[in-house]
Amino acid sequence: MLLVGEPILGDEEKNALCDVIDSNWLTMGDRVRAFEEAFAQAHGAEDSVAVNSCTAALHLILHALGLGPGDEVLVPALTFVATANSVLYVGATPVFVDIQSPDVPLMSLAEAEARCTPRTKAVILVHFAGYLPDRGAWQALARRRNLMLIEDAAHAPGLREVGTYGVAAAFSFYGNKNMTTGEGGAVIARDGALLAQIRQARGHGMTSGTRQRLDARTPTYDVTMIGFNYRLDELRAAIGLVQLRHLAHWNEARRALTAEYRRRLAAHCPDLTVPFSQPRPTTCHIMPVLLPADADRQAVIDHLRADGIQTTIHYSPVHRMTLYSSLWPDVSLPRTEDFARRELTLPLHPRMDAQAVETVAASLGAALRNHASAEAVA
């Protein structure tokens, strides 16, 4: 099966894990700190905080910013549910915003501004598929409306622009991401005081960690804030240090494969829409396409699976999920809903080559032609 996403793991990661085991120090030690520093450097930032997931990263950012009951946070519905969940974690209200267009399935700037109220305090910008929105335009909106910009950069590690939009950015190192630690995440914030608050809240609000107390030769600590158990362990940090060294190369491979997809899909599937037709900074995390409006998506999925090709969907709209539709039943986002009905995510990862792209494009073209033929006969 040609998978939608596949991590690259090998002897470097195995050796790094063995080194951690040999050190006999498994959590929140030198490797976590080294990974934080290296990850920050890769993004042109002073520092970062490593955590156990992107969800934790988002929660910590919102918590440190003091968002809570009565506050509203603008979020897209075309995202993984964790984006909206993190708003609920702090007691604030997620306000769902439609996408700009089928070609640019990022949060609509115009609609975001239209949905602002006196209670709107922040915006979570999701870098869907690894593509970045217009930074200047969003910063201008933030100034006009006195909003805090937060980046959900789960799909976009390795771009220097990420982490420069507003107050903080959250990253994911889940197993299907451009670099992985299995589970894991990170926060970049340009304000040192904010980052320090996030760092302390990551570990129960304690004023020192176990390794710090060992080095300082004192067993005492205090708790000065509410905190959480969101720490990263040494094993994952060790993998992260290895993966980070390859991230730029892997991102470039994804860009080349995406360009190959665009050429071959145009030849095999002329009725297909491939979003983000105009160049913009991207990590090319996934390969989303939009099927023709009359296509039977499940039939296409079944055809590709029979050819040994996995596909998936990014995403089921959050506002249509049972929890959120029960809380806010009147939300209507027509562009998001149409996109989600037609979207199909094709395999994209650095283990692929041009021949694999050709295989996928040819199979998809055949699936769409078969559907068209069946419709004509019917």
Q: Which of 269, 335, 332 is nearest to 102 (CA)?
A: 335
| Confidence tier at 216 by pLDDT (50, 70, 90) | low
Q: What is the DSSP string of 207-262?
A: SS-HHHHHHHT-----B-S---B-PPBHHHHHHHHHHHHHHHHHHHHHHHHHHHHH
Q: Give the span between the Cα atoms of 93 and 71, in whole angstroms.
A: 6
The predicted-structure confidence for 44-80, as pLDDT tens digits, reads as follows 999 999 999 999 999 999 999 999 999 999 999 999 9
The whole-number average pLDDT for the span 38-43 is 98
* Residue 378 pLDDT exceeds 60: no
Q: Give the span between the Cα atoms of 4 and 287, in whole angstroms.
A: 9
| Confidence tier at 130 by pLDDT (50, 70, 90) | very high
The pLDDT value given to residue 229: 97
Q: Give the span between the Cα atoms of 226 and 248, in whole angstroms.
A: 37
Q: What percent of the chain lies above the pLDDT cut of 70? A: 97
CATH classification (class only), 248-377: alpha beta
The whole-number average pLDDT for the span 200-221 is 79
The whole-number average pLDDT for the span 364-378 is 76
| DSSP one-letter code for 4 | S
Tokens of 326: 């029960």
| Confidence tier at 162 by pLDDT (50, 70, 90) | very high
The pLDDT value given to residue 212: 73
| DSSP one-letter code for 49 | E
The pLDDT value given to residue 220: 76
* Residue 11 pLDDT exceeds 90: yes
Thinking of the domain 11-242, which architecture would CATH place it in? 3-Layer(aba) Sandwich (3.40)
Q: Quick check: helix, strand or coil at residue 166?
A: coil
Tell whether pTM > 0.85.
yes
Contact predicate 25/211, CB 8 Å: yes
Provide the annotated active-site residues. 177
Q: Give the span between the Cα atoms of 287 and 270, in whole angstroms.
A: 16
* Residue 372 pLDDT exceeds 80: no
| DSSP one-letter code for 110 | H
**Mean per-residue pLDDT of the chain:** 95
The pLDDT value given to residue 375: 59
The pLDDT value given to residue 142: 98
Tokens of 371: 């559907």
Locate CATH 3.40.640.10 in the chain.
Answer: 11-242
The pLDDT value given to residue 210: 73
Locate CATH 3.90.1150.10 in the chain.
Answer: 248-377
